[in-house]
C-alpha cells in the first residue's frame, strides 16, 4: 500500500513538473519586450516659453507642437515650426527667428534648426539658410552650410557657401566665403 502511494506521489510530481516546465516556456518576442527600455514622450501644444539670463528676459519661444523625449540624453523637438523673439535689456524685440523644425538638446543648451530658417533684426538685416545651430550660452548662431545674409542698411547681399557665425541679434557676423580658414569679417552693424 505504501508503495502504491509512493508511485502516485511520483506520478503527481512528474505531472506537475511537466506543467511547470510548459508554463515556464517564454516567447522570445515577449522576452525582448521586457529587455527593451521604452522612452516616454511628453507632448505639448500651443507652447509659449521664456528664456532668461540672470533674471533678465532674453527670448520668447512659441510653437504649435512640442515633443519632449525622455531618454538618457533628453531632447525637445518642435516638429511644426517655431518662432523666437530675442529681447534687449529693456525688453524690446531686437531680432526674430522662424524655422520649420527645431531640436533642443537640454544638456548642451543648443538648438538645431532646419528647413526654411529666417532670422532678422529690427534694422532689417536678414539671415536665410536651411540648417543652423543656436548656442544659447554664447548667444550665437553658426553653421557650415550655404547661408545668405542681407544687410539692408549697407544694401548688400552676401552669400556664404561654407557657413557663418553670427550674434543672435545679427549685430555682427563672420562668413566663411572662400574655404576653410579664409574668412571675411563684416564690420559691426550695431544700431546708430
The pLDDT value recorded for residue 61 is 93
Q: Domains (ranges, CATH) in the chain?
A: 2-32 (no CATH), 37-185 (2.60.450.10)
| Cβ(33)–Cβ(65) below 8 Å | no
Least confident stretch, 26-30, 132-136, 152-156 = 26-30
pLDDT tens for each residue of 75-106: 899 999 999 999 988 899 999 999 999 999 88
**pLDDT averaged over the chain?**
80
The pLDDT value recorded for residue 131 is 96
Residue 136 phi, psi (nearest 5): -70, -35
- Cα–Cα dist 12/19, whole Å: 11
pLDDT tens for each residue of 146-192: 988 888 877 888 888 888 999 988 889 888 765 554 455 555 554 44
- Taking the alpha carbons of 129, 134, 139, 140 in that order, is the dihedral positive or negative? negative
Residue 11 phi, psi (nearest 5): -65, -45
Q: Where are the alpha helices (DSSP H) in 36-140?
A: none
In the structure grid, which three cell numbers stand for residue 88, read together? 534687449
Amino acid at each position: 500500500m505504501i508503495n502504491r502511494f509512493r508511485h502516485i506521489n511520483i506520478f503527481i510530481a512528474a505531472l506537475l513538473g511537466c506543467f511547470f516546465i510548459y508554463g515556464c516556456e517564454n516567447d522570445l518576442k515577449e522576452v525582448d519586450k521586457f529587455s527593451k527600455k521604452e522612452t516616454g514622450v511628453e507632448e505639448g501644444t500651443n507652447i509659449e516659453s521664456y528664456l532668461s539670463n540672470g533674471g533678465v528676459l532674453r527670448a520668447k519661444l512659441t510653437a504649435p507642437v512640442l515633443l519632449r523625449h525622455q531618454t538618457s540624453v533628453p531632447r525637445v523637438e518642435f516638429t511644426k515650426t517655431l518662432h523666437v523673439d530675442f529681447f534687449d535689456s529693456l525688453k524690446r524685440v531686437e531680432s526674430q527667428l522662424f524655422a520649420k523644425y527645431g531640436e533642443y538638446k537640454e544638456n548642451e543648451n543648443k538648438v538645431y534648426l532646419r528647413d526654411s530658417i529666417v532670422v532678422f533684426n529690427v534694422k532689417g538685416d536678414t539671415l536665410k539658410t536651411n540648417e543652423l545651430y543656436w548656442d544659447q550660452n554664447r548667444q550665437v548662431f553658426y553653421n557650415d552650410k550655404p547661408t545668405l545674409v542681407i544687410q539692408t542698411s549697407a544694401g548688400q547681399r552676401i552669400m556664404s557657401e561654407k557657413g557663418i557665425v553670427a550674434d543672435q541679434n545679427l549685430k555682427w557676423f563672420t562668413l566663411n566665403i572662400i574655404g576653410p580658414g579664409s574668412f571675411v569679417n563684416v564690420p559691426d552693424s550695431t544700431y546708430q
